[in-house]
Amino acid sequence: MTHAPRPIHVIGGGLAGSEAAWQIARRGVPAVLHEMRPLRSTAAHKTGGLAELVCSNSFRSDDAEGSAIGLLHAEMRRLGSLVIQVADAHKLPAGGALAVDREGFSAAVTAALEGDPLIDIRREEVLAPPADWDNAIIATGPLTSPALAEAIRALTGEDALAFFDAIAPIVHRDTIDFGIAWFQSRYDKAGPAGSGADYINCPLTRPQYEAFVDALLDGEKIAFRDFETTPYFDGCLPIEVMAERGRETLRHGPMKPFGLTNPRRPQEKHYAVAQLRQDNKLGTLFNMVGFQTKLKHGEQTRIFRSIPGLANAEFARLGGLHRNTFLNSPKLLDATLRLKAMPRLRFAGQITGCEGYVESAAIGLLAGRFAAADRCAERPLLPPPTTAHGALLGHITGGHVETIDSGPRSFQPMNVNFGLFPPLGGVGRGAKKQALCARALADLDAWIGAAVPHAAE
């Protein structure tokens, strides 16, 4: 008589944990997914749904020939990712980006996992991984519950570095003045689900921009102890922190006017443009792209309504400030994401030091596969370092150079980017990204089809 394998425990049903549980079940191994919501929530989650998107609804560029994140999407499609499959099914118009209807996306991930006979979902907070879990994945994310964070800190002997990031406000579309604002994607790019006219654009003259920057700098911020020395999640800097870095920073960042033409005044180039992107399937809500903030709520309403087109804006959600937690992974984790000091525990998602929804899911995908291979007494297959998965894994588990002085540790969460890939010789600058993408997909296909497993270090 053959026995079913013992289950693998996955703690956290976010982007990484949901993907990990799915991958484990695809190998015929049972998974128990422990998610504390809705019994206990975090400072950013709003629902009890699995794989909830806490801020933007964008999975960023879907260009698999010229962007590292688009390449990661393409690889995940080839690897049978649940997260990307569901994102594709729930995509919204967003220029060249893959953006999703957040509620439909989360509901579909939840339904897929609930409907899988090999996955047992338990709604409970795990305070510490019990000693009899011989194969577990911790995917509790940047907002890991304090009790578990403390248990992890005790296990690793490290100060789990906490840092902070901010979320962007969301506006009701019917409160935007379309006598001023207009729909257009930058350079009219249509992208995976778009029409080329997917963003709402609000134009600013130079005096309006200057006044806006002044208001951001003077606006009352949420007071925070030791705040000024707190490192932020770099892809999500508060808008007022960007403004502090220089008066022109926003004009070259989220408020850049390039590739946009106001249909009412086509000859005129605006000094700056604020953009809003569709946030839900109904098209009733739009989020202010790059406007994550730690301004007080009253200040946000006052300052953001000074943007032309938003004078009467009603906000479905205002921006906020949240904690982030991640491990010093290059030191603590082995090549297959296991805690060196306790290999029965594996980590996945943003807590490992990747950054972003897609990257978190991709690391969940790998952790799920590695854990299932362990359970099946196989040697886990490491993705080639030339692939986006391999490059990201390398950043987390080995590629990073630790600081050599006594300053703060230098390992920081990072989005996937071409700087993490082994360089390609003999290719001109213009063709480099395309060549890196082509090499990655060819190597990934070879890896998927590999008959002889690579040995994990």
Rule CB under 6 A: which of 212-241 touch ligand FAD?
236
**Cβ atoms within 10 A of the Cβ of 157, count?**
8
User: Of 47 and 208, which has the nearer Cβ to ligand FAD?
Assistant: 47
Residue 16 near ligand FAD by CB under 6 A: yes
Q: Which residue is at the shortest CB distance from ligand FAD? A: 14
Least distance CB 246 / ligand FAD (angstroms):
23
By rule CB under 6 A, what string of x and - marks binding of each residue 56-95 to ligand FAD? Answer: x---------------------------------------
Write the CB contacts of 156 (distance below 8 Å, at least 6 apart in sequence).
327, 328, 332, 339, 341
Least distance CB 166 / ligand FAD (angstroms):
7
Could you say which of 65, 88, 120, 125 contacts ligand FAD (CB under 6 A)? 125
By rule CB under 6 A, what string of x and - marks binding of each residue 143-172 to ligand FAD? Answer: xxx--x----------------x-x-----
Q: Exposure string (b/e) for 11-46, b if CB count within 10 Å is 16 or more?
A: bbbbbbbbbbbbbbbbbebbbbbbbbbeeeebebbe
Residue 322 near ligand FAD by CB under 6 A: yes
Pick the closest to residue 84 from 57, 105, 65 (CA basis). 105
Residue 99 near ligand FAD by CB under 6 A: no
Residue 118 near ligand FAD by CB under 6 A: no
Least distance CB 150 / ligand FAD (angstroms):
10
Contact present, 351 and 212 (Cβ < 8 Å):
no
By rule CB under 6 A, what string of x and - marks binding of each residue 347-366 to ligand FAD? Answer: --xxx---xxx--x------
Alpha-carbon distance 356 to 310, whole Å? 29
User: Of 103 and 204, which has the nearer Cβ to ligand FAD?
Assistant: 103
User: Of 14 and 384, which has the nearer Cβ to ligand FAD?
Assistant: 14
Q: Which stretch binds ligand FAD (CB under 6 A): 39-47, 88-96, 265-273, 381-389?
A: 39-47
Q: Return residues touching ligand FAD (CB under 6 A).
A: 11-17, 34-37, 42, 44-45, 54-56, 125-126, 139-145, 148, 165, 167, 236, 322, 324, 349-351, 355-357, 360
